[in-house]
Structure 1
Amino acid sequence: MPIVPDFPDAGRDADDRGPGRHGGGDQRERGTASPGGPLFRDERPPGGAGPGHGPGNGPGGAGGGPGGPGSVPPHPSAGAPGPAARTGRAAREKKKAGRDLRAAIGVGVGLGAVIGASLFVVKDVFVGVVVVAVVVGLWELTSRLQERKQIKAPLVPLAVGGAAMVVAGYVRGAEGAWVAMALTALAVLVWRMTDPPEGYLKDVTAGVFAAFYVPFLATFVALMLTADDGAWRVLVFLALTVISDTGAYAVGWRFGRRPLAPRISPGKTREGLLGAVAFAMVAGALFMEFLIDGGSWWQGLLLGLAVAVSATLGDLGESMIKRDLGIKDMGALLPGHGGIMDRLDSLLPTAPVVWLLLVIFVGSG
């Protein structure tokens, strides 16, 4: 997922951005649900009970709303809410937004500045930024796996091998990345042998999955960077993913009616997906025409379409993982955004798609 802030009820993952991230007094910690309540914001509590609809709350409810058995008439002085009530209501409304917008924008601008400066000043520094993101992402993923599923994917060989994968891709190309991936998988198998055999298969399977999902897919960003216009290729990749995300939010928030994948991410809509496609295709046509050497507008249309689809699938993929783990965010490192993995979810699967299409359209040089 890119660095733009997202909001509820948009074309993106509204289900993963509930009140538990920033609101004070929430009983949930790292995505664990409070007793008797829903884990995700878009789910209803057990039995359909919710504010204003459960026993003692809704109209005619037992011991609750006006006209119900045992209801208590309102006191004459209970007219307009006082300052304390208004303050509480404002806090609840802020929590409904799902994130601290100011913090999200500030972190997004800061990340954008670091990426832009490293990308166009010293390419090697940008590779270092990618390595740091990969290592932190692996730490978040393996930590959540152990906390929620008792799966102990070995972090040390994953972190070392993941860093080597990105660097090898930048220095030796695709061949170097594949060799580093194979050696990382082998290191995971051997490292886990130092622990008891119980759970060996699930631990190493998760480790190999993590090696492919995070560092190997990130290696394609380094591969893009090796071209003569590599900085512009990476910029187009990042910008198109962000624009696709923005289009999904803008259109989904305004026109979204039909769910795209309700069992995985109820906040996503088909209208939001169409917005992502439209925004990304227009931006892709402009980028390919004016930023990429030898590119044409029609190639940009295809590139934008592919980015919108792959970014959406990436979001859905991590939503599936987080629902299986029973969490809302992979971490809390970035205020207003969650964890590093919550920012990489649409970028990782999009990187090989953009790299491949650019090689087909304008070559690898």
Structure 2
Amino acid sequence: MKQRLITGVLAGVFFLGLCLIGGMPYQLLIMLMALVGYYEFVKMTQLPSFGGTALIGYAGVFLYLFPWNRVDMPEGWDVTRLTWLLMLLFMSVTVFTKNRITIKEASLLFLGAVYIGIGFSYISQSRVTEDGNGLFWTFLLLVSIWGSDAGAYFTGKAIGKTKLWPAISPNKTVEGAIGGVVIAIVISVIFAVFSGGLLSIPRAVLVGLAAAVVGQIGDLIQSAYKRVYGIKDSGKILPGHGGILDRCDSWITVFPFVHLVMLLPF
């Protein structure tokens, strides 16, 4: 527990410090986290971590996180084109290796690159917004997610009796999940109250709800995946906490969700 606390504090201070600074240092940190996350994903699948096929995935994650706004890119270059090209490369591997790399393996690596690359890219984009309030939006989502996690944990410990999804995550309870939703909404509404009109109360409720529900789905997705491969943690880079994917599983589902459904005016 002591190690977990120390790691959490040090990692939190480092991450939030670079988030406050913003700019290229923060963008590079998110890119590094994404690449480490993809390494953890590949390792969990029990495929060669730095095999030729996996390298395509690393390249894809890198390109998703690359700050294209800082270079002169051709008009029309977007995530859709990158995703399609990435898919084509992965599927072509099955042909050039004469099915030594199967479509199942290629599909797994492609899925991981899209899941992790797009997820972290939206975390990165949230800090750099046209309205200049990227720090506010980033903190809003992060604190709501963390609040949901804490609320679910402590509510579950105190009054949790009904298992939420025992086949996937035996310790989670319905009562804990509800507690997480309530805390996330309260936090989001507090942000709205002190936002100076930047965020309305109704929209804040929706943001809090999304952070809790989609965040918990992201957590369950990671739990389901780890259960398939019989592992507890995705990695060991954060002593007492596991890997990058263990800590960011909610982030990489919540940030894209609120962007794509336009809950916030990024």
**Structure 1 and Structure 2 fold alike (TM over 0.5):** yes
Contact 1:334 1:340 in 2 (8 A): yes
**Greater Rg over alpha carbons, structure:** 1
The match for 2:2 is: 102
Which deviates more, 113-122 or 268-277?
113-122
TM-score, scaled relative to structure 2: 0.88
The match for 1:312 is: 216
The match for 2:62 is: 163
Distance 1:134 1:218 in 2: 6
The match for 2:27 is: 127
The answer to whether 1:200 aligns with 2:99 is no
1:310, distance to aligned residue in structure 2 (A): 0.5
Q: 1:121 to 1:250 in 2, by over 3 A?
A: same
Any unmatched runs of 5+ in structure 1?
1-100
Identity of aligned residues (%): 27
Q: Match for 2:180 among 247, 257, 276?
A: 276
The match for 2:231 is: 327
1:174, distance to aligned residue in structure 2 (A): 10
Distance 1:122 1:311 in 2: 24
Q: 1:335 to 1:231 in 2, by over 3 A?
A: same
Can you list the C-alpha shifts for 1:53-76, whole angstroms capped at 9, x where unaligned?
A: xxxxxxxxxxxxxxxxxxxxxxxx
Contact 2:206 2:263 in 1 (8 A): no
Contact 2:94 2:101 in 1 (8 A): no
Letter in 1 for 2:60: G
1:297, distance to aligned residue in structure 2 (A): 2.0
Q: CA RMSD in A?
A: 2.6
The match for 1:57 is: none
Contact 1:163 1:215 in 2 (8 A): yes
Letter in 2 for 1:208: F
SS in 2 for 1:146: coil
1:291, distance to aligned residue in structure 2 (A): 3.9
Question: Which structure has the higher relative contact order (CA within 8 Å, separation 6+)?
Answer: 1
Which stretches of structure 1, 4 residues or longer, exceed 4 Å deviation after superposition? 168-175, 191-194
Q: 1:175 to 1:106 in 2, by over 3 A?
A: farther
Q: Match for 1:287 among 191, 194, 211?
A: 191
Distance 1:307 1:272 in 2: 15
The match for 2:250 is: 346
1:110, distance to aligned residue in structure 2 (A): 1.8
Can you list the C-alpha shifts for 1:229-271, whole angstroms capped at 9, x where unaligned?
A: 1122111111111110000011000000000111111101000
Q: 1:163 to 1:288 in 2, by over 3 A?
A: farther
Any unmatched runs of 5+ in structure 2?
none
Contact 2:119 2:251 in 1 (8 A): no
Can you list the C-alpha shifts for 1:32-90, whole angstroms capped at 9, x where unaligned?
A: xxxxxxxxxxxxxxxxxxxxxxxxxxxxxxxxxxxxxxxxxxxxxxxxxxxxxxxxxxx
Q: Match for 1:209 among 91, 111, 118?
A: 111
Letter in 1 for 2:191: F
